[in-house]
Amino acid sequence: MVEKLLGYLVQYGLPGKIGKVLVLILFLGLPGPSLANATLKIAALGDSLTQGYGLPAPDGLVPQLENWLQAHGESVSILNAGVSGDTTAGGLARVGWTLTADVGALMVELGGNDILRGIAPELARRNLDGILRAARDKRIPVLLIGLTAPGNYGADYKAGFDSIYPALAQKYDTLLFPDYLAPLTKSGPRATVLMRYFQADGIHPNAAGVKVIVKRLGPAVQALIARASGSAPNRP
């Protein structure tokens, strides 16, 4: 397009300086292909469920989710910021250097190891609050991925922990996927689900389980992409 404009200017003999100015004005008004096809980078801040514990690299959450999104027409890459064994405190410690200037959106999947260690819900809430506040300060949209606590710590603990995610999602106006494991745990009898979709530890999904989760999680991530699409990836 620009080459054609230059040709017209030469053909009709417009003065050099004026011609260059006109080309510059017209060029700046044209949509740039690099912007139209820009790839959104999403940071997935999490624990072993994000990291892909016990699975070959292509079968983990991040590769399967990235492939699902790209197959559904999304121009996106996902940074695997999952660390096995990490708690909400670990996520809070890492969020500052995870949210680099090229990150345009954030997924947060943390809390499972807090539950396993019996960490007080109010402490987990404070850590997750700090993560979401850091994202808000950089104007980065968030998808918060929740977990539900088992009943073995008592009803008060379960109620306190389960309420963390919807309360924080409302406070920070984040997107919410209420329960990471629900696509599996609510798909049938416990014994069948464990055998079909979980690794031998009964905690981490196998490749088939991750595939089921991705099918349900994918549309929520598409909503995150839509929320981020109007913002430049570099934030002040």
**What range defines the domain where residue 117 resides?**
38-228
Indicate whether 218 and 143 sit together in one domain.
Answer: yes
CB 209 within 8 A of CB 184: yes
Indicate whether 23 and 51 sit together in one domain.
Answer: no
Indicate whether 25 and 103 sit together in one domain.
Answer: no
Write a three-state SS string for 190-202: HHHHHHHHECCCC
Indicate whether 26 and 61 sit together in one domain.
Answer: no
Please state which of the ranges 27-31, 45-49, 227-231 shows the lowest mean pLDDT. Answer: 27-31
CA distances from 94 to 20, 78, 88, 179, 198 (A): 49, 17, 10, 23, 28
Indicate whether 146 and 169 sit together in one domain.
Answer: yes
> Which positions ≥6 away from 104 have C-beta within 8 Å?
40, 41, 42, 140, 228, 231, 232, 233
Indicate whether 69 and 23 sit together in one domain.
Answer: no
Domain presence at residue 78: yes
| Neighbour count for residue 232 (Cβ, 10 Å) | 11
Residue with tokens 């994202």: 135
Indicate whether 101 and 189 sit together in one domain.
Answer: yes
Indicate whether 13 and 77 sit together in one domain.
Answer: no
Under DSSP, is residue 177 helix (H, G, I), strand (E, B) or coil?
strand
Domain presence at residue 236: no
Annotated active-site positions, please? 48, 201, 204
- pLDDT, tens digit (0-9, with 9 covering 90-100), for 125-168: 999 999 999 999 999 999 999 999 999 999 999 999 999 999 99
For residues 26-35, one letter each, b for 16 or more C-beta atoms within 10 angstroms of the residue's C-beta and e for the rest, the string is eeeeeeeeee
The model scores a pTM over 0.85 = no
What one-letter code names the amino acid at 223?
A
Indicate whether 51 and 148 sit together in one domain.
Answer: yes
| Neighbour count for residue 112 (Cβ, 10 Å) | 22
Q: H or E stretch including 76?
A: strand 76-82
Q: Which residue has the higher pLDDT, 157 or 21?
A: 157
Indicate whether 119 and 12 sit together in one domain.
Answer: no
Domain presence at residue 234: no
Q: What is the DSSP letter of 118?
A: T
Indicate whether 96 and 8 sit together in one domain.
Answer: no
Domain presence at residue 152: yes
Indicate whether 180 and 76 sit together in one domain.
Answer: yes
Residue with tokens 């699409």: 229
Domain presence at residue 62: yes
Domain presence at residue 52: yes
CATH number of domain containing 141: 3.40.50.1110
Report the mean per-residue pLDDT for the chain. Answer: 87
Burial of 173 (0-12, 13-18, 19+ CB in 10 A): exposed
Domain presence at residue 233: no
Q: Which residue has the higher pLDDT, 226 or 29?
A: 226
- If one counts the domains in the chain, the total is 2
Please state which of the ranges 14-23, 33-42, 179-188, 195-204 shows the lowest mean pLDDT. Answer: 14-23
Residue with tokens 């609510």: 186
CB 146 within 8 A of CB 107: no
- pLDDT, tens digit (0-9, with 9 covering 90-100), for 30-73: 444 334 458 999 999 999 999 999 999 999 999 999 999 999 99
CA distance 71 to 154: 43
